[in-house]
Amino acid sequence: MPEVSRDNLREFVHRVASETPVLDIHTHVYSARFGRLLLYGLDELLTYHYLIAEVFRVAPLPYERFWGMSKSEQADYIWQHLFIEHSPVSEACRGVLTVLQAFGIDPKQKNLTSIRKHLSAIAREAYIDQVFKLSHVRRVIMTNDPFDDNERPVWEQGPEPDERFQAALRIDPLLNDWDGAVKRLAGWGYRVNGTLGTSDVAEVRRFLIDWVERMSPRYMAVSLPPDFTIPEDGPRAALIAGCVLPVCREAGIPFAMMIGVRRSLNPQLRLAGDGVGAADVTSVSRLCVAHPDNRFLVTMLARENQHELCVTARKHPNLMVFGCWWFLNNPSLIEEMTRIRLELLGTSVIPQHSDARVLDQLIYKWSHSRRIIADVLADKYLDLARAGWMPTEQEIRRDAADLFGGNFERFCG
């Protein structure tokens, strides 16, 4: 490739963005040692909760009938109604096609049996290797919940040996259901009584420290509802200030807050039944000011919060904005958010995470996002070129490396 010029700049930025290995800072995928918790393959792809919500719109049926089907039957149902009987233009549908294509499968053959056969012939370890290769992802950070009975025994057996997978200590049950958490903690031998007095605080810290030691997490994390505020009556704010932030500080890890999810708007849809609401960004600012020695990774679910969150990050170097979460992970919104972020924060952001639940989704989530991020970046470089600042090849590679992992590593310290 000749030196970068205005004529080939967009093409070059796209090439660099597609080749730069990604560190994906928030996923729900697991390494092989978690056994059945690691989801991959056609049936898992087609029964992704995003697609379940979509199929009930075009082909409603009694919820219990859908949940009573086997996974393959659910996948067939979704394929029939969302791909065959309608054009699969939604982002989640399109994602399935991108994955199939990456595996060398012609999705237009429409024959689910042969597609299923093709993918299920790949052994699990080979499947993992192939997905990492096809997606150019070098490492993923999992979501690891010590309150999860399927997951906890795996950690009790020892640390994560596969360095492509790192842990994030997820503590939703502790912060969002304190009464329930007290019972679980007491059952595991932590001397808590629910009053959040000195001894509760000490014991919750001990619990968190035990899990930090066990998981070596890159950060601690929680998802929060739209009405989350600081200050706040109730145990959550006290737990954050008294237990979570001191342990994060001591361990030298950030605290990630994913704010704006309204859980279980429609419980019948199970995982697909959650919604969104605008949240209070000032509370994020208050935490950053009150705890200058802590670092906060923050993503918000409502589109309405994105501009204010960027402005807030300008005020607080200990705040790192990340990802286009869930209902924002659509091309139009990724583009809008990436533009706002680059314009307000330069390259000091983590523009995307995949939130993949099924391993294969790393392929589509990253290929779709890389293209948009590259386009926005190219526009910004062309603006700079017009102002006499033609970026060099090396500068473009540096920026891509920062955006796709370097910023996270540096922020974590």
Query: Which residues contribute to the site for ligand FIX (CB under 6 A)?
Result: 28, 143, 223, 258, 271, 326, 355, 357
Nearer to ligand FIX, 223 or 306 (CB): 223
Q: What is the number of other CB atoms lying within 10 angstroms of the CB of residue 319?
A: 22
Query: Which residue, chain included where needed, has tokens 């910023």?
Result: 407
Choosing among Zn ion, ligand FIX, none, which partner's interface includes residue 271 (Cβ < 5 to 8 Å by kind)?
ligand FIX
Strand-pairing partners, residue 319, are 296
Quick count: other Cβ atoms within 10 Å of Cβ 267? Answer: 10
Instruction: For the CB of residue 57, give the shortest distance to Zn ion in the complex, in Å.
Output: 22
Closest listed residue to residue 309, CA positions, set 240, 373, 259: 259
Least gap, CB of 221 to ligand FIX (angstroms): 8
Alpha helices, DSSP H, located in 165-305: 172-176, 178-187, 198-215, 235-239, 245-251, 281-290
Reported as type and span, the H/E element at residue 297 is strand 296-300
Nearer to ligand FIX, 168 or 192 (CB): 168
48 versus 77: smaller Cβ distance to Zn ion: 48
Give least dist CB 355 to ligand FIX, A.
4
Smallest distance from the beta carbon of 350 to ligand FIX, in angstroms? 15
Q: DSSP H helical segments within 103-193, as ranges?
A: 112-120, 124-135, 152-156, 172-176, 178-187
**Which is closer to ligand FIX, CB of 21 or CB of 273?**
273
Token code pair at residue 375: 């386009």
Residue 223 binds which entry of Zn ion, ligand FIX, none, CB below 5-8 Å type-dependent: ligand FIX
Show Cβ contacts of residue 68 under 8 Å, excluding neighbours closer than 6 positions.
none
Give 114 or 266: the residue with its C-beta nearer to ligand FIX: 266
Q: State the nearest-atom distance from the C-beta of 260 to ligand FIX, in Å.
A: 10
Residue nearest to Zn ion (CB): 355
| Distances 408 to 65, 211, 227, 312, 350 between C-alpha atoms, Å | 44, 22, 28, 18, 7
Smallest gap, in angstroms, from Cβ of residue 274 to ligand FIX? 6
CB-based contacts of 121, cutoff 8 Å, min separation 6:
none
Shortest separation between residue 192's beta carbon and ligand FIX, angstroms: 25
Q: Which residues bind Zn ion (CB under 5 A)?
A: 355
Binding partner selected for residue 326 from ligand FIX, Zn ion, none, CB under the kind-specific 5 to 8 Å limit = ligand FIX
To which residue do tokens 């790393």 refer? 362
Closer residue to Zn ion (CB): 260 or 391: 260
User: Which amino acid type is present at position 291?
Assistant: H
Closer Cβ to ligand FIX, 147 or 326, answer by number = 326
